[in-house]
Amino acid sequence: GQSLEQPSEVTAVEGAIVQMNCTYQTSGFYGLSWYQQHDGGAPTFLSYNALDGLEETGRFSSFLSRSDSYGYLLLQELQMKDSASYFCAGLRRDDKIIFGKGTRLHILP
């Protein structure tokens, strides 16, 4: 089967750090991506992990552990504009992309 599980909502404070988790059961798995989607907008790519470990891009970091079928997205120095939904997505070896249901991030001032 193919599924990716994410908590439905997370709340954090402006300026703080937040971690959003993703666990998956995906056959033929190749890598894990993260996308951001603001209300009314299209999903936009944030990061991709093909190998175990941490990938850092500015305030955003993404982690993958294949042995644990687990990944997370870490956002630092939270800003109000980071309020959005965040989706993990599994990339299969045949290039099919499957999305989780997403975590809605609420940021408090």
Partner 1 sequence: GAGVSQTPSNKVTEKGKYVELRCDPISGHTALYWYRQSLGQGPEFLIYFQGTGAADDSGLPNDRFFAVRPEGSVSTLKIQRTERGDSAVYLCASSATGATEAFFGQGTRLTVV
CB of 25 to partner 1, least distance (A): 15
Shortest distance (Å) from residue 6 CB to partner 1: 8
By beta-carbon proximity to partner 1, the closer residue of 74 and 98 is: 98
Binding site for partner 1 (CB under 8 A): 31, 33, 41-45, 48, 50, 87, 91, 94-102, 104
Comparing CB distances to partner 1, the nearer of 66 and 101 is 101
Distances (CA, A) of 59 to 16, 20, 97, 98: 11, 14, 25, 25
Cβ distance to partner 1 smaller for residue 42 or 80: 42
CB of 15 to partner 1, least distance (A): 27
Q: Judging by beta carbons within 10 Å of its beta carbon (0-12, 13-18, 19+), is residue 37 exposed, middle or buried?
A: middle
For residue 82, the 8-state DSSP code is G
Q: Cβ(90)–Cβ(24) under 8 Å?
A: yes
